[in-house]
Amino acid sequence: MPHKPLIQTSDYMHLLAGIPSGSADLVFTDPPYGVNYQNPYTKDKFPVISGDSEFFSYSALAREAYRILRPGTCFLAFTGWSTYPRHFDEIAAEGFTMKEPIIGQKRPSGTTDLEGSFQTNSDWVIFAHKGRFKFHSTELLRNKRAGTVPNKGRKPVPEWKRRFPSAWFGPNFPYSSENPQFQKKLKAIGAKARHPTIKGREFCEWLIQLTTHKGGMVVDPFAGSGTIPLAAAALGRSVVAGDKIAAFAELTKLRIANNV
């Protein structure tokens, strides 16, 4: 049985330091990565996320993530297209085996350059293994040719997909971010904090199902709006999460308590 979610107001290094070596089944998180995000389309602007105004190194995060993960597990972390190469190198240097990133379909958002930049509609998620990781079986996507025999002597195509593409776009895949109207749902449950980059719950649930088993421990040291801890708890995983901003830690607790 999973333990009650442990949500702390804590710096990420302090939170990770308290987790025993080789005890986690997944580190899945959304650190600040230096994009200084602002939505230029609204007068009611969100405050800049702490630490997001300058480049944030993933080195210490990756080092501690590698320590706490069991062999045969993986590490997932949101990043941006412009910071991905540096973060890739930092994580690889700590012993992880790097794999192709997941690129999720994000609900379109603005940038500071409205006339010379394409509108952002993707989220990048770093994907790395500790040891030899294999995906878990899920019932998320059906094979179009389920039951057919592709070639003589081959087994029939199984009902459910075991291998997914790295780019999750189109009607068969969940968005990697929530609709801006989602803020109203949070307000309805009494949320006082507002977060500018709320990740998609179903998107995170899919990744958690693909990478962990029920009862496994999911760690998120940058809980932010609380989507990853909520998704993990709802799927019957044990959760250890935190954020150094107390309002975000409380928002995470509130979302888990209300399953929103």
DSSP 24-92: EEEEEE----S-----TT-SSPPPPPTTTTS----HHHHHHHHHHEEEEEEEEEEE-TTTHHHHHHHHH
Q: What is the crossing angle of helices 227-234 and 246-258, to 10°?
A: 30
Q: pLDDT value at position 52? A: 47
User: For residues 38 and 7, what is the distance between their CA atoms, to the nearest angstrom?
Assistant: 27
Q: Which of 259, 258, 246, 240 has its CA nearest to residue 5?
A: 240
Structure tokens at 43: 């007068």
Q: pLDDT value at position 1? A: 59
Q: pLDDT value at position 193? A: 83
**From first to last of its 260 residues, what are the pLDDT tens digits of the chain?**
578 999 999 999 999 999 999 999 999 999 986 544 445 444 454 455 555 445 799 999 999 999 999 999 999 999 989 899 999 999 999 999 999 999 999 987 766 677 888 888 999 999 999 999 999 999 999 998 888 988 887 888 899 999 999 999 999 999 999 988 899 999 999 998 888 789 999 999 999 999 999 999 999 999 999 999 999 999 999 999 999 999 999 999 999 999 99
Q: What is the pTM of this model?
A: 0.89
Q: pLDDT value at position 110? A: 61
Structural Rg of the chain based on CA atoms: 18
Answer positive or negative: Cα dihedral of 188, 194, 200, 201.
negative
Q: pLDDT value at position 41? A: 43
Q: pLDDT value at position 48? A: 53
Specify whether the CB–CB gap between 223 and 249 falls below 8 A. yes
Q: pLDDT value at position 194? A: 83
User: For residues 60 and 94, what is the distance between their CA atoms, to the nearest angstrom?
Assistant: 9
